[in-house]
Amino acid sequence: MSSNKPSQDDENAPIEVVLYDPAWPSKFEEERAVLEGLLGHWVVADIEHVGSTAVPGLAAKPVIDIMLPVESLEASRGSIEAASHAGYLYWPYKADVMHWFCKPSAAHRTHHLHIIPFDSPLWFDRLRFRDTLRSNSELAEQYAELKLHLAKRYRYDREAYTEGKGDFVTAVLAGAGGK
């Protein structure tokens, strides 16, 4: 199994949040077609565009987040090697709940691939969060402001940036019938 693990130096790429780009949905569709061709053997439902680039009008890091549904992590272990053929670099981030990848490098990310068991809590939480932001522009604006603030505060600390969004995400999910 090839991990193509990003180097420690790559993790220090700055966090940049930019205005919404209307090209993001088409970039997702292009990548979905590639992934269906390469990883279709493991796909058990629709491949989903998630994350901030999936919410029209929302400022975001210019990275297309793709969630690919599989039966289980164990049954989809072969997808790690297969994804490398599309330029994805595997990183054992939250390896207990997903196979996670970035493309083309950790220093310059255009795509994140999250291979997640279909029907898992993480699968439903990600969809519920995306759909809530899509339907509630006030919440989406609050989220954008938080992300801009965190990107300035934690420009070179991706973990702190991500953790800083945690309470907001938890509150949105609770309000949307989540945890």
pTM of this prediction? 0.90
pLDDT at site 91: 93
pLDDT tens-digit readout, 105-120: 988 899 999 999 999 9
Per DSSP, the three-state class of 18 is: strand
Confidence band, pLDDT 50/70/90 cuts, at residue 176? confident
Q: Which two tokens stand for residue 108?
A: 């310059």
- Mean pLDDT across the stretch 4-19? 67
pLDDT score of 8: 44
Complete DSSP assignment for 40-100: TTT--S--EEESGGGSTT--B-S-EEEEEEES-TTTTTHHHHHHHTTT-EEE-TTTTT-EE
Sketch the domain layout of the chain as residue ranges. 8-175
Q: Spell out the CATH class of 8-175.
A: alpha beta
Residue 1 has pLDDT above 90, yes or no: no
